[in-house]
Amino acid sequence: MMKRILVAMIAICVPLSAQWLNYPTPGIPRLANGKPNLEAPAPKTADGKPDLSGLYDIDNGRLFQDIAADIKPQDFPIQPWAAALAKQREEDMRKGDPYSHCLPPIVPRINSGNRPFKILQLPGLVAILYETGYLFRQIFTDGRPLPKDPQPAWMGYSVGKWEGDTLVVDTIGFQDRGWLDGNKGHPHTDAMHVTERFRRVNLGHLEIQSTIDDPKAYTKPFTVTQKLHLLADSEILENICNENEKDAAHLVGK
């Protein structure tokens, strides 16, 4: 794979007028008309595992605002206290959404942000660079266990392992101030365990199935799916939220 990238790079004649955002992505299969062949098979790494590396954009951002968007209300296993808190946050016009205050959208909400992210898959490590929040995430795939008593963090601590063609990522170590979504303000606690199943369907498509297991706020685990597509010939940009953080002073509650 890497060799192919190098060969393709050398073959591409670099235009002098190249812009940051429209530089052709090297090393991806293309159709006769030069467009990326999004239906080509998912690439593989040297060890035969699917290579998730690439720049992705969401198909639909509804989960960012409502993690239960695809779940029937009667099937959403939210505990009464958590439902009451979510209702209060919604009535308060989501004034307290951390993301409105330039704080991180947590895992898995950040996977549904409306700005692209880049996955870098290396032996032993998967790193994700998010334009949303200008944040990164590390997922250790070198066999290390989850820490026993991690310091609570916005993004938690992640380890991943392969199950067939699916990268299964377990994340714990959350603090409890994050919101699972924006419009609904669904809460979570420090007991949350998120399992994300990353599957690259083909070159152009990625699916992330996320299971939220938080027995302090939900009576049983529930699962949601985010679909994404490859964003070829583009890039991620710097995105400094605090620079324009003039919202907080104007947010009003009920």
Q: Which spans of this chain sit near another protein (rule: CB under 8 A)?
A: 2, 5-6, 9-10, 14, 16-20, 23, 26, 46-47, 102-104, 120, 122-125, 127, 129, 134-136, 138, 142-145, 147-151, 153-155, 157, 173, 235-238, 240, 242-243, 245
Q: Would you list the DSSP string of 25-61? A: PTT--B-TTS-B-TTSPPPB-TTSSB---EEEEES--
What single-letter amino acid sits at 146?
L
Shortest gap between Cβ of 50 and another protein (angstroms)? 17
Q: Would you say 62 or 118 has its CB closer to another protein? A: 118
What does residue 202 show for φ and ψ, rounded to 5 degrees?
Answer: -155, -170
Task: Please tell me the distance from the alpha carbon of residue 24 to that of residue 3, in angstroms, as a whole number.
Answer: 17
Q: Would you say 144 or 220 has its CB closer to another protein? A: 144
Shortest gap between Cβ of 148 and another protein (angstroms)? 7
Q: Would you say 145 or 164 has its CB closer to another protein? A: 145
Mode of pairing for the β-strands spanning 166-172 and 157-163: antiparallel
Q: Would you say 81 or 136 has its CB closer to another protein? A: 136
Task: Please tell me the distance from the alpha carbon of residue 66 to that of residue 247, in angstroms, as a whole number.
Answer: 21
Shortest gap between Cβ of 241 and another protein (angstroms)? 9
Task: Please tell me the distance from the alpha carbon of residue 156 to that of residue 177, in angstroms, as a whole number.
Answer: 12
Shortest gap between Cβ of 79 and another protein (angstroms)? 27
Shortest gap between Cβ of 182 and another protein (angstroms)? 18
Task: Please tell me the distance from the alpha carbon of residue 57 to that of residue 206, in angstroms, as a whole number.
Answer: 9
What does the block give as tokens for 243?
Answer: 């620079």
Shortest gap between Cβ of 36 and another protein (angstroms)? 17
Cα-Cα-Cα-Cα torsion 96, 101, 102, 104, nearest 10 degrees, comes to -20
What does the block give as tokens for 186?
Answer: 């669904």
Q: Would you say 82 or 230 has its CB closer to another protein? A: 230
What single-letter amino acid sits at 1?
M
Q: Would you say 68 or 180 has its CB closer to another protein? A: 180
Q: Would you say 59 or 235 has its CB closer to another protein? A: 235
DSSP conformation class of 146: P
Shortest gap between Cβ of 222 and another protein (angstroms)? 26
Maximum separation of any 2 CA atoms in the chain, in Å: 61
Question: Is the Cβ–Cβ distance between 147 and 157 less than 8 Å?
Answer: yes
